[in-house]
């Protein structure tokens, strides 16, 4: 028989999952805000590497790539970032000459993303909805059944 969770354990798991949901909401919102309010500059692709092996999908020959980039702020400070991309088995190594548009917050440049990642709101909206779902599902009130008295 499995032991029932103690009251403090239930509260801690609710707090943890609520914070996880809030993190999803913050992440999705920041990506959308970067696309609207973020300052645009050019980043240099510094490294491209393939993560693990072939993806387990119906379409064969697809891999996950981690693309690292860096850009320089107007004050001369260099900021690094990375993103993930799904592609086929053919990819080029970074030569330090490839550039991509990047968006960042002026006062928090460590929050940045490639401009391509900020164009479509579909992905961030799914992340935001997941966050709200986690918070709702873990904190919803339990319906108590009423016993009929004969």
- pTM flag (> 0.85): no
What pLDDT is recorded for position 116?
A: 86
Q: What one-character-per-residue DSSP string does 22-33 give?
A: HHHHHHHHHHHH
CA 139 vs CA 22, 117, 126, 135: distances in Å:
13, 32, 20, 6
Greater confidence (2 vs 124) lies with 124
- Per-residue pLDDT tens digits for 5-42: 667 888 898 999 999 999 999 999 999 999 999 899 99
- Tokens representing 80 are 């690094």
DSSP E strands in the chain: the ranges are: 39-51, 62-72, 78-88, 99-105, 108-114
Q: Is the pLDDT of residue 71 over 70?
A: yes
Q: Give yes or no for residue 89 having a pLDDT over 60.
A: yes
């Amino acid at each position: 028989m499995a032991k029932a969770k103690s009251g403090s354990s239930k509260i801690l798991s609710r707090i943890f999952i609520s914070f996880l949901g809030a993190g999803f909401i913050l992440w999705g919102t920041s990506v959308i805000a970067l696309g609207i309010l973020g300052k645009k500059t050019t980043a240099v692709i510094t490294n491209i590497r393939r993560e693990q092996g072939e993806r387990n999908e119906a379409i064969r020959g697809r891999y996950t790539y981690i693309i690292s980039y860096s850009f320089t702020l107007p004050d001369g400070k260099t900021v690094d970032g990375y993103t993930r991309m799904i592609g086929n088995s053919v990819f080029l190594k970074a030569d330090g000459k490839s550039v991509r548009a990047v968006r960042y917050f002026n006062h928090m440049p460590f929050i940045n993303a490639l401009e391509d990642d900020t164009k479509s709101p579909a992905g961030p909206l799914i992340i935001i909805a997941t966050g709200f779902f986690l918070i709702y599902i873990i904190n919803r009130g339990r319906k108590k059944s009423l016993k009929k008295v004969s």
